[in-house]
Amino acid sequence: MFNKIFPKIHAEGYKFLVIAGIITIILYSFSDFLGLIGLVITIWVYYFFRDPERVIIEDNNYLVSPADGEVIKVEEVDGPKELSLENKRFKKISIFMNVFDCHVNRTPCSGKIEEILYKPGKFFNASLDKASEDNERNYYKIKDFHNNDIIVVQIAGLIARRIVCESNKDQDLNQGDRIGMIRFGSRADVYYENYEPLVKVGQKAISGETLLAKK
């Protein structure tokens, strides 16, 4: 129960929590009202960087959500040209994370990371179509146990200013393992083949738990 109310936070959050705490103390020295505002901000920083444990299905016939947030797209598209997959068709699910969602990202499937590619870019609203090509983003190409290509793309948003990658090329992953996070509002895209989608636009997804697609 304690861990549900006060989950651990991601390592990226500690420095921001310290900064917010110091600012809160300074604000309290001016007035209780300003101090209260600082306290609310500090609590939000803690909440933003939370990294709760999740219950993973551990079933290779399913893909789980890589992110908390709202499903904003379920479509069929060409693969990412950045990975030389533009001539291959994929289904794609896009999940938008607002500033209140948990921003730790997880792998949708078990498998091996074949490629990681970082692309610098702009910081448009992550819900826009052009964010897939213009924004800062990080690609993970994963080969699942069925020999399918599964691609996860972390896309920075309007406020986000850093994509954190915590994985390496040739790393073996178990479904639901943490692969990184994005700071302050962003999006995650999942490109997949030979699975059928289980979610709809507007649905809320939970990283590591929500079933996105089925074999």
Query: Which token pair is 93?
Result: 């699910």
Q: Is 163 helix (H, G, I), strand (E, B) or coil?
A: strand
CB-based contacts of 55, cutoff 8 Å, min separation 6: 208, 209
- Compute the distance between CA of residue 118 and CA of residue 136 in angstroms, rounded to an integer: 8
- 65, 167, 186, 207: which is the annotated catalytic residue? 186
65 is catalytic: no
Bridge partners of 186?
97, 156
Cα Rg of the chain, angstroms:
18
Give me the active site residues, please. Answer: 186
